[in-house]
Amino acid sequence: MSASTRRAVSKRVFDFVIALLCLFVLSPILLLIGLLVRLLLGTPILFVQERAGFQGRPFRIAKFRSMTDRRDVKGNLLPDWKRLTAFGALLRASSLDELPELWNVVRGDMSLVGPRPLLMEYLPLYNERQARRHEVRPGLTGLAQVSGRNELSWEEKFEYDVWYVDHHSFIVDLRILWRSVLIVLRRDGVSQRGHATAEKFRGSDR
C-alpha cells in the first residue's frame, strides 16, 4: 500500500469515527435545533441541495434551514437578507446550521476538512487551477474557512483550496479543525460584506 493510499484510508477512518461520535454526542442539540427550526421557520426542517463533491461528482448536502419562504405578491422568493431571520442568522454565525453535514461525512460524501462543497452550476466556471479543489473530498470546514471565511474573494478562497490539495496531512487537518473551533466561537467572517451570505461565483479571468 502506497503512502498516499495509507493517508487516504487513515483520513477516511478518522472522519468516520469522529463524525459518528459527534452525531451521537450532539444528538440532543440536533433534536432541539430541529424543533426550533420547525417552530420558528417552518418546514422542511432541513435544506437539501445538490453540491459538487470529489472529482466534481454530485451529492446531496443537508443543512438546517436558516431562511423563511417569504415571497412577494407575485410569488417570487424575497432576497436572502429579507428571509434571513435573527434565529437563522444565529444558526449561521454559530455554524450550527451545518451540523447535519456530519451525516455526509459518515456516508463518505465529505471529509471533516477539505474545500467547502459548492454549487454544481459553478463547475464550468472554474479555470484549470481552481478545478483542482475537487481532487479531494469536500470538507465540513477548510483552510479558506479559517483564513477569512466569506470575507475572502472567490479567487482567494480557491487559492487556499488548491494549497490544501497539495499539502493536506493529518497535522494540517488537526490545525484547521482547532482554528475552526476558534473561528466559530468568535463568529468571524460569516457573511460577505454587503450580502446576507456570500455572493455567487460568476467566474474569473482564465
Structural domain spans, the chain: 3-186
Q: Which residue has the cell 426542517?
A: 45
Mean pLDDT for all residues in the chain:
88
- Residue 158 reports pLDDT greater than 80: yes
CB 45 within 8 A of CB 38: yes
Give the model's pLDDT for residue 206.
55
Euclidean distance between the first and the last CA atom of the chain, given in angstroms as a whole number: 38
The pairing of beta strand 58-64 with beta strand 46-52? antiparallel
Confidence grade of residue 75 (pLDDT, cut at 50, 70, 90): low
